[in-house]
Amino acid sequence: MKVTIIDRSDSEIKFFVEGIKPPFANELRRIMMNEIPTMAIEWVDFVKNDSVLNDEIIANRLGLIPLKFDKKAYNTPKNCKCEGKGCSLCQVRLTLKKKGPGMVYAGDLKSTAKDVAPVFDKIPIVELFENQELQFEAIATLGLGKEHSKWQAAVVGYTNLFESKSKANEMKLCDKHLFHVKDVKGIKVDPLQCELCAYLNEDDNRFKLIDDSFLFTVETASGLDVEDIIIDSAEILGEKIKEFDKAVKKL
Ligand SMILES: [Zn+2]
C-alpha cells in the first residue's frame, strides 16, 4: 500500500491510496465517519427561553455545534466506570445565560471543563429581541456518528482513478484538466479537478478504471484534528481485523 498526500489544510486532507481494494476503502471511510468518538451536546435543561425558537429546535442546534475536547480525557458513557450514570469522566457541563437584544452565539457557551469549547465562536444559535432571555444548562458527552450525525467526526469521500489508454499527447479532455503522469503507459486522472472527469465511468472505452487506487478527501466535522481522525480510523480497523482473526480461529 502506498499513501501520497496531495493537499492539506487545517481542516481537510486529500490523499491517494494505492494498492487497496474497494471494501478496504469503504471500511476506512465508514470508520472515519461513524466510529470515532467526538464530543457533542446531548442534554439541555432550559431555565428560560423567550426566543422565537422552541426548546427542541435550540437543543437540536446546540447538538450540532462541534466541540473541541481532549480525546484522552473522556470515556463514552457506555464504557465509563459510572456505568452511564454520568460523571466528570464522561460528561461536560456547559451553561448559557443571555439577554436580548442580540444574537446568541456558540461562543456565549460557558464550559466547566478547560479543554471543552466550541470549535467556532461565531455559530449563531438564535436571535434575541428586546426583553427576551435565554438560559440553559447543557451536558455534552462523547458519542459516535453511527448513533447520531452530530457525533460524526469527519466528512469523507473517495473516488476511483482512471487511466487513459492513449498516450499523453493524445489526451485532450478539457482546459481545466489536471494530469498526474504515472508512467509511459498512461495518465492518472484526478476526477476532483475537472468536471468531465466526474462523468468518467467504466463504460468509457478511452479509459481504464484503476480498481486498486483511491483518492480520499477527509474534512473534519468535529473538534478532532483531521490527522487524528485518519490515524485513529486505521487503528480501529486494525483492531477489528484482530478481533475477526480471533473469532475465525475459535471456529
Ligand atoms: Zn462516567
pLDDT at 174 over 50: no
Q: Are residues 84 and 97 in the same domain?
A: yes
User: Which of residues 145, 173, 200 is at a domain's end?
Assistant: 145
C-alpha torsion angle, residues 58, 222, 148, 246 (rounded to 10): -160
Q: In the prediction, which pLDDT does 5 show? A: 82
Judgement on whether residues 116 and 210 belong to the same structural domain of the protein: no
Using the mean position of ligand 1's atoms as its centre, give its distance from the Cα of residue 140 in Å.
12
- Among 9-23, 107-121, 164-178, the minimum mean pLDDT is found in 164-178
Cα of 88 vs centre of ligand 1, distance in Å, is 6
H/E element holding 250?
helix 226-250
- Position 180 scores a pLDDT of 44
pLDDT computed for residue 8 by the predictor: 87
**Of the ranges 2-16, 171-185, 226-240, which is most confident?**
226-240
Q: Across residues 139-154, what is the average pLDDT?
A: 96
Phi first, then psi: what are they for 174, rounded to 5°?
A: -160, 165
What is the whole-number distance in angstroms between the Cα of residue 74 and the centre of ligand 1? 8
HSE-CB at 192 with a 13 A cutoff on CA atoms is 13
For residue 173, the SS3 value is coil
Answer whether residue 187 is part of any domain. yes
Q: Are residues 138 and 202 in the same domain?
A: no
Same domain, 13 and 72: no
**In 150-222, where do the E strands start and end?**
154-164, 179-183, 186-189, 207-220
Ligand 1 centroid to residue 78 C-alpha, Å: 8
Query: Is a pLDDT exceeding 60 seen at residue 168?
Result: no
How much distance in Å is there from the Cα of 89 to the middle of ligand 1?
A: 5
Question: Residue 145 and residue 127: Cα distance in Å, rounded?
Answer: 29
Q: Is residue 251 part of a domain?
A: no
Determine the average pLDDT of the residues in 145-154. Answer: 96
Q: Which residues surround ligand 1, an ion (CB under 5 A)?
A: 80, 82, 87, 89-90
State yes or no: pLDDT of 162 exceeds 70.
no
Tell me the CA–centroid distance for residue 5 and ligand 1, in Å. Answer: 38
C-alpha cell at 182: 504515472
Domain CATH for 166: 3.30.1360.10
Which tens digits make up the pLDDT trace of 50-84?
A: 999 999 999 999 999 999 999 999 999 999 999 88
Residues 130 and 184 reside in one and the same domain: no
- How high is the pLDDT of residue 244? 94
| Residue of 9 and 191 predicted with greater confidence | 9
Same domain, 187 and 209: yes
Distance in Å, CA 209 to ligand 1 centroid: 49
* Distance from residue 138's CA to the centre of ligand 1 (Å): 16
Q: Can you tell me the distance from the alpha carbon of 160 to that of 216, in angstroms, rounded to the nearest whole number?
A: 9
Residue 182 pLDDT > 80:
no
**In the prediction, which pLDDT does 141 show?**
97
Tell me the residue type at 147. Answer: E
Residue 12 in any domain: the answer is yes
CATH number, domain with residue 85: 2.170.120.12
Q: Could you give the CA distance from residue 210 to residue 219 in angstroms, rounded to a whole number?
A: 24
Cα–Cα distances in angstroms (integers) from residue 153 to residues 66, 114, 136, in the given order: 9, 21, 26
Tell me the pTM: 0.83
104-112: list long-range contacts, CB under 8 Å, 24+ apart.
104/51, 104/128, 104/134, 106/65, 109/65, 109/138
Mark whether 111 and 166 lie in a shared domain: no
Do 131 and 44 belong together in one domain? yes
Closest CA to 118 of 78, 85, 69, 184: 69
Range of the domain at 82: 39-145
Domain membership flag for residue 250: no
Least confident of 177-191, 198-212, 231-245: 177-191
Q: Which grid cell sits at 224? A: 478532532
Please tell me which residue, 152 or 8, carries the higher pLDDT value: 152
